[in-house]
Chains A and B, each alone.
Chain A
């Protein structure tokens, strides 16, 4: 068993200056803020749905129209729910497209400019989506769709930039630990978004959007004035000078940005002491690698479930148990907490065991049980929170592992060893399929819930989660060996540290 580098902390952290700390914190919080504003939408679904529909109260008492039924954007709450699912899907698709574009653009432009532009303009779009349409009482489906497409494209600038900046500053040694801690940023962002939204929801849903958009805009400004993209900017030698060539297996952890390699101009990916020719492989070749397709499809299923929880949990809690939306938002935090713990713990265990598949398979089997348990949760907040954390633990953990470490392992096969483009392509395929699966899933969730109810949504989740263990034990991947020293980074309950979304 190989103990991860976390135990060599002493020599590790002494090399980090205050610049490293600031870069860590800035990138951590900038991605958290991007995530928080994404989460806000899920947190206010109930209120928005109420705002868009007339009142469905059926008693003889008179309800003055201007208070209770002046808004007819959707005739009923069910139609509004369907549209909310559509918006989620639109967002995910445009996010995936934006990732590809950002990969190309980010290589040519300064990362700091791209990141602050992305944060500030995405904040402006969210501001128009929420507060402006509400204050003007202008409700229009087409406008909402266009704004959300724009939001998806602009938010996609965040992830590749922050990963690249982190990659510039933190060399291979200790990357595992640092990235492990850092990758909790998405879950922290979810928690932050839920807290912010629930605290101002009583004033109106538009204020939840206003607060998160304003804070994100402020974050963009702070990034612009405070972020150093790489050590070379202030004359410190870059990480190439400090490469620790033993730790070649850390490579997968920092290769990122979907299929493109343009994000890593400042650090080179080396394989041991052999500097092999960096050879791109085509998309088709990458698909044909053993394990890529089954894992991609399986990841799509898992990401679907993970994302559905992300987008729909507060809405479900409000709808099913009748809890107030602000309370449902606060409670939904527990899923992220479970995910953070799950990702960390399972990553650590699989690192120690040097095997991924058994941990994954076990976790997913238990995930089925936790989903069943959660779907039958009683109307009690503490028990529900506990079950929610357990579910997050068993679904978030595998989701992370597949997207990060296993992508890395897939890309490490002998067939393509030494090709960083190959790894990026493989990562991109796995993650891209996952994103598309998640996008389709959002619409399906609202459709199923509309027609069949929440129980059938849970059955659908169980089906998706069960698709995994079968493909895991199949073939050569049942005994997937970890390259030496490959530290599992991800603590996040949601997104891998490698791949976006």
Chain B
């Protein structure tokens, strides 16, 4: 579905990220789909039409740092990592299946959307998130305890400063043996292996030096075998 004069389309459920480019052949305008993954732009940035609003927090953040650039709804750094996401006024009931693509974001703006309330698990993996702007009726994910400051404005509320809840719960047995608690997003925790431990269930510690072991064993075997052969079997009759 294309409009008469512009190529724009919202294709839900599309596997790759696409953009439409137009070109003229004769009097007809053709819209061509270009796979945007080659251009390095994630689907989350273009799924909501438009671009980052000029006066939004995301835009301000992006302009503060010179290396960052704005593309569609995202603020990207030189490597293409999403650092800011502006999904204002996108008529979103929920951020959608592509939302985890923005897990590296530092600032996200979701105001003016009819979001459903329970956002806790949507932000799993968003460990860098420091500023989250939400519609007024939605509570900050993880509750007020998960954020340093929660400010209420006229049109939105702003959750700022993600807190590490690992220490605050006071429970010493939070993780299985050899695991340690690390944050997993606002109000979320996960268990990874403690320092020095690795492997399945973090059972393994350190690394075994195969070379040294086999070196010592091999040389010992060789010398003992030669010694014994010389003293014992050399005179043996063929058997």
Contact = CB atoms under 8 A, between A and B. Distances in A.
Interface of A: 18-19, 22, 26, 47, 50-51, 55, 57, 59, 61-64, 67-68, 70-71, 110, 112, 200, 202-205, 207, 211, 214-215, 218, 221-222, 224-229, 233-235
Interface size bracket, B side: 35 or more
Contact of B203 (A47, A57, A63): A47
Contacts of B29: none
A61 B181 contact: yes
* 4 nearest A-B pairs in the assembled complex, by CB-CB distance: A226-B228, A203-B208, A218-B221, A225-B225
Nearest to A205: B203
A325 to B, nearest CB: 9
B27 interface: no
Contacts, number: 110
B220 to A, nearest CB: 7
A500 B214 CA distance: 31
A112 B237 CA distance: 13
Interface stretch (B33-41, B151-159, B184-192): B184-192
B176 A228 contact: no
Given A22-B231, A233-B237, A204 B217 contact: no
B203 A204 contact: yes
Nearest to A230: B239
Contacts of A222: 221, 224-225, 228
B236 A203 contact: no
B233 interface: yes
Given A221-B225, A228-B232, A233-B236, A61 B174 contact: yes
Interface of B: 124, 173-176, 179, 181, 184, 188-193, 199-208, 213-214, 217-218, 220-221, 224-229, 231-233, 235-237, 239
Interface class of chain A by DSSP: helix
A67 B189 contact: no
B232 A204 contact: no
A19 B204 CA distance: 45
A209 B222 CA distance: 22
B232 A19 contact: yes
Contacts of B207: 203
Nearest to B193: A67
A218 B217 contact: yes
A64 B176 contact: no
B233 A225 contact: yes
Nearest to B121: A62
Contacts of A204: 199, 203-204, 208
Contact of B237 (A26, A225, A234): A234
A304 B30 CA distance: 84
A59 B174 contact: yes
Residue with the greatest number of chain A CB neighbours at <10 A, chosen from B199, B214, B221, B229: B221
B176 A234 contact: no
A229 B233 CA distance: 10
Contacts of A226: 224-225, 227-229, 232-233
A200 B206 CA distance: 10
A110 B236 CA distance: 13
A202 B207 CA distance: 9
A62 B166 CA distance: 12
Given A63-B191, A110-B239, 17 more contacts: A47-B203, A50-B201, A55-B201, A59-B173, A62-B124, A62-B188, A67-B193, A68-B191, A204-B199, A214-B213, A218-B217, A224-B225, A226-B229, A226-B233, A228-B236, A233-B237, A235-B237
